[in-house]
Amino acid sequence: MAILLAVLAIALITGSVAVAATRRRRAARLQRIRRKLDILLEHQGLVAELWPRPSDAALRLMGNRSMIEAIRVYREENPGLGLMEARLGLLEVTGAEAPGDDLYLERRVDTLIRAAGLEEQVLLEAAEEVRRLVRDGRKVEAIQALRQANPRVGLAEAREVVDNLR
pLDDT (mean) for 146-159: 79
Confidence of residue 50 (pLDDT cuts 50, 70, 90): low
Cα separation, 41 vs 118, whole angstroms: 15
- From CA 134, how far away is CA 123, in angstroms rounded? 16
Q: For residue 37, is pLDDT > 60?
A: yes
The string of pLDDT tens digits covering residues 54-95 is 888 988 888 888 888 999 999 999 887 778 778 877 877 776
Give dist(CA 92, CA 77) in Å, integer: 17
pLDDT at residue 109 is higher than 60: yes
Note the Cα 115 to chain centre separation in Å. Answer: 19
pLDDT above 90: percentage of residues in the chain: 4
* pLDDT surpassing 70 at residue 130: yes
Neighbours of 39 (CB within 10 A): 10
**What's the pLDDT tens digit per position in 95-107?**
665 556 566 677 7
Instruction: Please give the Cα distance from 118 to 57 (Å, whole number).
Output: 35
The confidence score (pLDDT) of residue 69 equals 92
Q: How high is the pLDDT of residue 73?
A: 92
Mean pLDDT of the chain: 78
